Structure 1
Amino acid sequence: MTPHPSYNIIGEERPGRWLLTCDHATNRVPDCLDGDLGLPASDMDRHIAYDIGAQGVTRALAQALDSPCIETDFSRLVIDPNRGEHDPTLVMKLYDGTIIQKNRHADPVEITRRLDAFHRPYHEAYERIAARREDVVICAVHSFTPQLKDRPRRPWQIGILSAYDKRFTTPLIAALRASETLAGEAARLGERFCVGDNEPYDGHLPGDAIDRHALHHGRLNVLIELRSDLIETEDDQEKWANLLAPILSETLTETGL
């Protein structure tokens, strides 16, 4: 593993075609922000601070696909690496009903400081690894909370997000929906298997990581959203990575992309 104050790279020497990424891997608040953002641990353990379970899935998928992965090592509440530098939600002051105390007065000088310390180094490393081979396929792993406050429960176990480049995502969604293994896993949980197409979020956010590193370069890409209650434990993270890896590989092979 290659560590950096803002990111980790794992398996950079692996020969696989994929690049696995995890933009919201941890809830760490760096020492330069006194190790907290004025929030209790109960809030920092919530989805508002990071994508629960996504780091473990990313690492396991990268290993299964014999490919490198890169992950952030700071909370998205410090600064969101999946937002463009001029996005108004880059440094959140209110998130899912919670006021982020130490972000309330973050001015342009403070935002630039966080960009230079965390956001920009991550994206520089991300681009360097993405450019290692011309046929790279970027697979971003995220997770979503089963239910937001005062909203109905979300029906999907997995969502596939994409913008206008659907070369890989359209056949992948079809393969996921046809998977008897995934349907069986959902049935074991007492659920109907449901794959979201640009659900629970829209797949195009100008300036986000996929836009910046995939769409602008014509690179194949997919953003996977997994429901966080399915991947809370290390065993479940390994299980979902092993469920998804062969479908990703087979879809890529069958499409000839």
Structure 2
Amino acid sequence: AVAQKMSNLLDARLVASTVSRLVYDCNRPPQAPGAMPARSEIHDVPGNTNLADFEKTERISKVYNPFRNLVSDTLTASAKPPVLVTIHSFTPVYMGQQRTVDIGILHDDDSRLADAMLALAPDRTGLKIRRNDPYGPEDGVTHTLKLHALPRGLLNVMIEIRNDLIATTGQQLNFAKILAELIADALAAISSEKEAQCHA
């Protein structure tokens, strides 16, 4: 819901999976254990237990490949250099531990957009916003950025939102506005810096 609202506010294309990430997590490559997890935190996922190879192949073919291809095609079709932003949410408690971050700004090797957002965030939101928290590249969560943005040299970022903060429609709209404005202003700051360097 937040991603859809952000898409509307930014007039940006949205590519979203239509199935639960427990069926297939499209932000994981097929070989990753977390792509079709047999266990999620402390809960077993019966539908993923002892999956046969043909069942995995079918999910990859029906869920992951169409998602991957649509993201790629959308980026290729853009008339101007696109920006890749992935939106996710996380639980406030994980493995019995309370998480203390509200929004995570995640990146892989290219931190340009994340850096610009984090530089602006303290003055804007009043929220606990941190870099690569509660996950980071070492957790394998930046697959989409690595696959689609890094090879193309595109500005990119992954945003994680604590899901108890976006439980209602009003909260979702509020966070969509905060994040859309933060992204737009960060992109403007990057553009201004690039212009200044060109004229230096």
Match of 2:152 in 1: 217
Matched, 1:201 2:153: no
Deviations, residues 85-131 of structure 1 (Å, cap 9, x unaligned): 21122211111111111211202111001111111011111110011
Runs of 4+ in 1 over 3 A off after TM superposition: none
Q: Contact between 1:84 and 1:207, CA under 8 Å: does it hold in 2?
A: no
Match of 1:44 in 2: none
Shift of 1:161: 0.3
Judging changes above 3 Å, is the alpha-carbon distance between structure 1 residues 159 and 166 closer, same or farther for their aligned structure 2 residues? same
Find out whether 1:131 has 2:65 as its counterpart: no
1:94 is the counterpart of 2:78: no
CA RMSD of aligned residues (A): 1.5
Match of 1:236 in 2: 171
Q: 1:158 to 1:120 in 2, by over 3 A?
A: same
1:182-193 alignment, distance < 5 Å = 182-183=125-126, 193=127
Alignment partners' CA distance in 2, 1:135 and 1:203: 24
Q: Which runs of 5+ in 2 are unaligned?
A: 195-200
The residue type paired with residue 116 of structure 1 is: S
The alpha carbon displacement at 1:206 in A equals: 7.6
Cross-structure match for 2:197: none
- Residue 94 of structure 2: SS of its match in structure 1? coil
Identity %: 27
Unaligned stretches of 5+ in structure 1? 1-55, 184-192
Q: Any conservation in 1 of the 2:104–2:160 contact (CA below 8 Å)?
A: yes
State the Cα distance separating 1:178 from its structure 2 match.
2.2
2: CA distance, partners of 1:164 / 1:210: 9
Q: CA deviation at 1:250?
A: 1.3
Deviation digits for residues 157-212 of structure 1 (CA, Å, limit 9, x no counterpart)? 11100011011111111111221xx11xxxxxxxxx31111000013528721111
- SS class of match (1:226): strand
Match of 1:17 in 2: none
Q: Which residue in the other structure is 1:247 paired with?
A: 182
Distance 2:12 2:93 in 1: 32
Task: Give the structure-1-normalised TM-score.
Answer: 0.70
- Higher helix content, 1 or 2: 2
User: Contact 2:5–2:173 at 8 Å: present in 1 too?
Assistant: yes
Are the structure 2 counterparts of residues 253 and 231 from structure 1 closer, same or farther at C-alpha, using a change threshold of 3 Å?
Answer: same
Residues 1:164 and 2:109 aligned together: yes
User: Under a length normalisation based on structure 2, what TM-score does the superposition of the two structures give?
Assistant: 0.90
Aligned residues: 190
Distance 1:206 1:254, change over 3 A: closer
> Which residue number in structure 2 is paired with residue 52 of structure 1?
none
